[in-house]
Structures are given as C-alpha cells and as structure tokens.
C-alpha cells in the first residue's frame, strides 16, 4: 500500500498474518538411471533441439539395479537428516511420462527440487578402468544458463564428499553438453558415475551393501553441503 489512504487502513493484525512463511524444507530429487526395460525411441536433447538421442541408452550391464539400491540408501540418509526426497523410480522401471531422460528432468522440475542427483555407474571395454566421475551441465543459452552455476557448485561439493566417503579413485569433474537429462532440467543437476561395473574389483564393491552405504553417505554429504550454501 503506497497511497495515503492505504496508511489509514494500517492494522497490526494484518501485518502479523502477512509475515513471510518459514522457508520450506528443500527437496532433493534422486534419479536412479535407466531401468530393466529402457524406454524406446528418441527425444530432443534439449528444448527445441533438432538433435535427438535415445530416451534411455540402457546403461552398462547390472547398472540399473545397483543404482536403484544406492539411490534408496541416499534417500534413507537424507530423510534421516530431515530433508525431503523424491525418487524418479522406486521400482525396476521409470514410468513417468514417456519414460525418457527428458521426463526424468521434468519429474524433478515439477517438484521444484533444490537439487537433482542422477545416480549412475560406468562401463568400459577396458576392465582396468575404475573410479568416480562427477558430471555437470555445460552452459547453453535457454537450456542450462539458469542452472549452470549452481550445478557446477553442487558437482564440486558432491565430488569431494563422495571421494572422501569411499576412497575411490577420483576421475574428476566432467562437463557435458549432450545429456538430455541435463538440458531439460530447470533445477541444479549433477550426474555421478559411481564406479565401473566392468572393473571386477569395483563391481564387487558397487554390489555390496556396505560400499553402497558409503556412496550414499558421500552423495548425501555433498548434497547437504550444497544446500547449506
């Protein structure tokens, strides 16, 4: 109220009612990659893009089941710390919308997540390759310009925390411009490749409950550090 007449309407009770609400507890959107039956067909890699990619590349052998187990543990840790959590899938398959990576981003966008963490595991023809890669979106006007900076910040925090929690080899931060699940996201987003399913020793760790809990604590620590500013 800026007019003089508005001042005459001043009433302390109204002011009391209009106090700003307490900030809601942030939601972390956890996205276990892939599924037992990957979605078929292609989709644009970003809004309005002529470039199309498979809705789901399928992942490396055994990845879909392992990343769901890790993601459930991340949820448990974050809920235990008083945060809110949304999982894009809690069963073998992701079924929201058309089931592609664009819809994984839309799922988290709709929930106005404070952070989207995509949980993956890696594969390689080189069975010696191992360790954790932390991936964040490249800057792209109208796609990721709004989330680029916080995503990079979150990636730095998560990388540090996951490597510290696991002692795994650190394969560093990786910037990607071609990931559909990044380019459709309107919330800060990070993808963690939690290790190589194709490395026998790392595969054993990735499929063990104890190591999954370490990964989960690391991912939760990083997410929490990001949310804390």
Closest approach of Cβ 189 to Zn ion, in Å? 14
Closest approach of Cβ 127 to Zn ion, in Å? 18
User: Is residue 59 a contact residue for Zn ion (CB under 5 A)?
Assistant: yes
Give the x-and-dash track for 98-137 against Zn ion (CB under 5 A).
----------------------x-----------------
Phi, psi of 44 (to 5 degrees): -65, 140
| Sheet with 170-176, edge to edge strand ranges | 84-87, 27-32, 115-122, 189-196, 132-137, 170-176
Q: How far is CA 185 from the centre of its chain?
A: 10
| CB-nearer residue toward Zn ion: 33 or 137 | 33
| CB-nearer residue toward Zn ion: 67 or 223 | 67
| CB-nearer residue toward Zn ion: 56 or 221 | 56
State the helix-helix crossing angle for 209-227 and 63-80, rounded to 10 degrees: 50
Cα–Cα distance for residue pair 150/155, rounded to 1 Å: 8
Count residues near Zn ion (CB under 5 A).
3
Cα–Cα distance for residue pair 77/210, rounded to 1 Å: 14
Q: How far is CA 37 from the centre of its chain?
A: 21
Q: Which residues contact residue 171 at a Cβ distance below 8 angstroms, ignoring those fewer than 6 apart?
A: 131, 132, 133, 193
Closest approach of Cβ 10 to Zn ion, in Å? 59
Closest approach of Cβ 120 to Zn ion, in Å? 4
Closest approach of Cβ 123 to Zn ion, in Å? 8
Question: End-to-end distance of the chain based on CA atoms, in angstroms?
Answer: 34
Closest approach of Cβ 91 to Zn ion, in Å? 17
Give the x-and-dash track for 5-44 against Zn ion (CB under 5 A).
----------------------------x-----------
Cβ-closest position to Zn ion: 120
List contacts with Zn ion (CB under 5 A): 33, 59, 120
């Amino acid at each position: 109220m800026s007019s003089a007449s508005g001042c005459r309407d001043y009433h302390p009770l109204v002011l009391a009612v209009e106090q700003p609400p307490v900030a809601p507890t942030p939601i972390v959107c956890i996205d276990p990659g892939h599924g037992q039956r990957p979605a078929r067909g292609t989709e644009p890699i970003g809004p309005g893009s002529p470039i199309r990619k498979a809705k789901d590349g399928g992942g490396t052998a055994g990845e879909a089941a392992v990343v769901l187990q890790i993601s459930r543990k991340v949820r448990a840790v974050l809920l235990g710390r008083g945060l809110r959590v949304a999982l894009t899938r809690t069963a073998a398959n992701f079924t929201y919308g058309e089931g592609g990576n664009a819809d994984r981003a839309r799922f988290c966008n709709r929930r106005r997540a404070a952070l989207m963490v995509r949980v993956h595991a890696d594969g390689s023809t080189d069975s010696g390759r191992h360790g954790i890669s932390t991936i964040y979106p490249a800057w792209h006007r109208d796609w990721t310009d709004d989330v680029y900076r916080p995503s990079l910040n979150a990636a730095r925090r998560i990388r540090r925390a996951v490597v510290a929690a696991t002692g795994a080899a650190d394969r560093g931060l990786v910037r990607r411009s071609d990931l559909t699940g990044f380019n459709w996201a309107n919330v800060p987003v990070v993808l963690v490749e939690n290790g190589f399913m194709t490395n026998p020793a790392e595969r054993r760790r990735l499929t063990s409950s104890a190591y999954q809990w370490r990964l989960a604590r690391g991912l939760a620590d990083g997410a929490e550090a990001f949310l804390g500013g």
